Amino acid sequence: MTDRLGALPELLRGTGIPAHVQIERWLLESIAGGEMEPGDRLPGERALAARLGVSRMTLRQALATLERDGVLVRVPGRRGGAFVTEPRIECDLTGLAGFTEQMRRAHLRAEARILVAATVPASPAVAAALEVPAGEPVHEVARVRSAGQTPVALERSFFPALPGFLAQDLGGSLYALLAGRYDLAPRTALEHLDPVIAAPAEAAELGIEPGTPLMLIERTAYAEDGVPVEYARDLFRPDRVRVSVRSGVSAAAPPPGRTADH
């Protein structure tokens, strides 16, 4: 893989930019320019540090930063090394776009493998979110979502018992289904983010090891009139997805949902 790197940079001294930062920028530019692709391995630390004219400690500092940012993954052992990873997918929660729309923005094809599509009694948590009595029938849909054939998320959503819902195509955007067939387009949502670890069953569906860190996004989505239309608990692989939220200064708004008349 050494030849894939092309010409090595001449690190500048006395510029105020640390050598490890210059190495990070060079590697990022090499990956962005196509000189290195996902799966490619960097030369060994000793050889690369010598060619760059830096200490192995300086090189390791650059590699550690890129590993933390999800650009590289370092594998121990004789056949290990530093490998270029697949770029993480940006998932912007700001506009309440579903997974299908998020993948379209990233120029990736969203795929879904349906694990569960059934009518079940509402648990206390589901009932509270959807504002229905506990035990009332609701629709549960669980899916493994993939981008580029790589599993990146495990979605588990609950919906009111809408007629004919489970007979529809559940492999695409469920938000588009709510909007187009039931005139219940989600307009607002309350979301909570928590770091969790993958249980064995979740890990098996996502193709990862049990105990791997995941990001849980718990969401209640509301239609324009404040009626809750979805309660979801989605698990994302943080090595494949980076969650972002755009913020701004605005007047304080009441929480999503219906408010009592006064």
pLDDT per residue over 217-257, tens digit each? 999 999 999 999 999 999 999 888 877 777 776 555 555 55
DSSP string of the chain, one letter each residue: -GGGG-SPP-PPSSSSS-HHHHHHHHHHHHHHTTSS-TT-BPPPHHHHHHHHTS-HHHHHHHHHHHHHTTSEEEE-STT-EEEEPPPPEEEETTTT--HHHHHHHTT--EEEEEEEEEEEEPPHHHHHHHT--TT-EEEEEEEEEEETTEEEEEEEEEEE--TTGGGS--SS-HHHHHHHHHS----EEEEEEEEEE--HHHHHHHTS-TT-EEEEEEEEEE-TTS-EEEEEEEEE-TTTEEEE---------PPSS-----
Residues 136 and 75 in one domain: no
Residues 34 and 103 in one domain: no
Residues 93 and 213 in one domain: yes
Q: Which residue, among 105, 93, 97, has the nearest Cα to 186 in the 3D structure?
A: 97
Residues 79 and 117 in one domain: no
Residues 97 and 63 in one domain: no
- Residue 21 CA to residue 158 CA, distance in Å, equals 46
Bridge partners (DSSP) of residue 218 are 192, 233
Q: Is residue 258 part of a domain?
A: no
In the prediction, which pLDDT does 2 show?
42
Query: Domain tally for the chain?
Result: 2
Residues 54 and 99 in one domain: no
Residues 51 and 124 in one domain: no
Residue owning tokens 């860190």: 213
Per-residue pLDDT of the chain (262 residues; tens, 9 = 90+): 444 566 777 888 878 899 999 999 998 888 777 788 878 888 888 999 998 999 999 999 999 998 887 788 888 877 778 888 877 777 777 666 667 677 666 656 778 899 999 999 999 999 999 999 999 999 999 999 987 678 989 999 999 999 999 999 999 889 999 999 999 999 999 999 999 999 999 999 999 899 999 999 999 999 999 999 999 999 999 888 877 777 776 555 555 555 444 4
Residues 134 and 193 in one domain: yes
Q: Is residue 205 part of a domain?
A: yes
Q: Give the pTM.
A: 0.68
Question: What CATH number should be reported for the domain holding residue 122?
Answer: 3.40.1410.10
Task: State which residues form the domain around 59.
Answer: 15-84
Bridge partners (DSSP) of residue 151 are 146
- Residue 202 CA to residue 215 CA, distance in Å, equals 12
Q: Are 209 and 203 in contact, with CB atoms under 8 Å apart?
A: yes
Q: Is residue 260 part of a domain?
A: no
Residues 63 and 119 in one domain: no
Q: Who contacts 78 (Cβ-Cβ below 8 Å, separation ≥6)?
A: none
In the prediction, which pLDDT does 255 show?
54
In the prediction, which pLDDT does 80 show?
78
Render the burial of 125-141: b for 16+ CB within 10 Å, e for the rest: ebbebbebeeeeebbbb
In the prediction, which pLDDT does 262 show?
43
Q: Is residue 210 part of a domain?
A: yes
Q: Is residue 20 part of a domain?
A: yes
In the prediction, which pLDDT does 260 show?
44
Question: What CATH number should be reported for the domain holding residue 40?
Answer: 1.10.10.10
Residues 52 and 115 in one domain: no
Residues 45 and 136 in one domain: no
Q: Is residue 255 part of a domain?
A: no
> In Å, how far are 28, 114, 245 from 66, measured between CA atoms?
9, 35, 22
In the prediction, which pLDDT does 105 show?
65
Straight-line distance from the first to the last Cα atom of the chain, in angstroms, rounded to the nearest whole number? 69
Q: Which of 57, 84, 111 is the last residue of a domain?
A: 84
Q: Is residue 261 part of a domain?
A: no
Residues 78 and 116 in one domain: no
